[in-house]
Amino acid sequence: MEDTEYLPLNQLFDSIGIIEKGIERIYHHLLLNKRIDNLKEVCDQFNLSLKRGYKICSVLSDLELVQIYDRPMKIHIATPIMILWQDLIQNRIEDLSSQFNEKREKCESAIEDFTRNYKLDQQVVQEPVEFINYSVSNFDESYHQFLAQSECKIAIGIRYDNPLISMIHEDRFQNIPDDMRTSMRAGMSRIKENLRSINVQVIFNSEVAKDLLSSNEFKLLTNHVEPYNLEFKKLEIHVTDEAFSNFSLTDNELIQPSFDPTNILIGAYISRNKNIYQIFYDKFNEIFEKGIPMNRFITEQKDIGIDSLSETQLFVLCVM
């Protein structure tokens, strides 16, 4: 097998910070054969020393990707494979986010020391941009806009892959660890409480709205959210044919989503720059006024097959 054919596995291990010569070959063998009964034969097949084979199996075991049995030594691939890898990737993203936050704090501390030492306090210092990592285990912060003090405005002009929706679509809720499930419920309860005291306005691009309304995920997520019996102070959703990018506004924050190259949501950037905020605030109001209410929109779209939406269903659209 050519080395280039191992590239996907190489990239996968590299993405979680694992650089171990030959690991992609041993794991490739396990993916195809599910187990290794004779490690020396497999190492010889891939021109690896037995010592290197033991080291690779140790790393795979630390990652909980294999189960090793002694006397005689047997290596079995751990399952379910996709869930194990999704957990590894999620942990890696959280580690990188934590490293980013630590470095950001050092940068902020450095500029504060510089400003103080050279008496530059009178000069205007722009607020740094904050990054929030998207995580289903940190549910409320992932939907930061719904924690506004008095109002939030949400513009949804592009559909992207949301890890939460993927989890619902694949019916992986049954496999969520108890601590993550508890965290999600606590986050949803916090959002529920806040929705009673804020005004929410949302503008959808018409094509995105039709796509979401026709999706199976919309029905599944509605089933998960309805038991919370959400109450809203004010929820207004409009739809327009105009094209625009995704962004959200709270009382004094501009929130812009961040995607990876495959269009999967990974987090959001938060800016409190007053000038930039005002530009997006005016832009939102202009687009929102051009739109029509969502329930009027669906009555005009006979192919959708929905007569009207409850406030809970309207809210579900906003988190997809």
- Provide the b/e sequence for 258-284 (b: ≥16 CB within 10 Å): eeeeeeebbbbebbeeeeebeebeeeb
Q: How confident is the model at residue 1 (pLDDT cuts 50, 70, 90)?
A: very low
List the domain boundaries for the chain.
3-79, 126-318
pLDDT of 168 reads 61
Inform me whether the pLDDT recorded for 33 exceeds 90.
yes
pLDDT tens sequence across 159-214: 887 766 666 655 555 666 676 677 777 878 888 999 999 999 999 999 999 999 98
Higher pLDDT, 178 or 1: 178
The least confident of 137-141, 181-185, 312-316 is 137-141
Torsional sign, CA 90, 96, 102, 107: negative
Task: Specify which of 2-6, 31-35, 316-320 reaches the highest per-range mean pLDDT.
Answer: 31-35
**Which residues lie below 8 Å from residue 274, measured CB to CB, with a gap of 6+?**
252
Beta strands in the chain (DSSP E): 35-36, 66-69, 74-77, 130-133, 151-156, 199-205, 234-240, 247-249, 254-259, 265-271, 292-293
pLDDT of 285 reads 96
Q: What is the Cα–Cα distance from 136 to 173, expressed in whole angstroms?
A: 11
pLDDT of 9 reads 94
> Using an 8 Å Cβ cutoff, are 127 and 121 in contact?
no
pLDDT of 258 reads 84
- pTM comes to 0.58
Instruction: Report the pLDDT averaged over residues 289-303.
Output: 91
DSSP string computed for 66-93: EEEETTTTEEEE-S-HHHHHHHHHHHHH
pLDDT of 64 reads 96
> Using an 8 Å Cβ cutoff, are 136 and 163 in contact?
yes
CATH topology of domain 126-318: Endonuclease; Chain A (3.30.870)
Percent of the chain's residues with pLDDT above 90: 52
**Which residues lie below 8 Å from residue 140, measured CB to CB, with a gap of 6+?**
146, 147, 186, 187, 188, 190, 191
Q: What are 260-266's contacts with CB under 8 Å, separation 24+?
A: 262/161, 263/160, 263/161, 264/160, 264/161, 264/163, 265/134, 265/160, 265/161, 265/162, 265/163, 266/93, 266/133, 266/134
pLDDT of 97 reads 87
Q: Which CATH architecture has domain 3-79?
A: Orthogonal Bundle (1.10)
Inform me whether the pLDDT recorded for 254 exceeds 50.
yes
Higher pLDDT, 252 or 127: 252
pLDDT of 3 reads 72
pLDDT of 169 reads 56
The least confident of 10-14, 136-140, 220-224, 264-268 is 136-140
| Alpha-carbon dihedral angle through residues 37, 43, 44, 47, given to the nearest 10 degrees | 160
Whole-Å CA distances, 224 to 135, 157, 175, 196, 219: 18, 24, 15, 19, 9
Q: How confident is the model at residue 141 (pLDDT cuts 50, 70, 90)?
A: low
Instruction: Report the pLDDT averaged over residues 34-54.
Output: 95
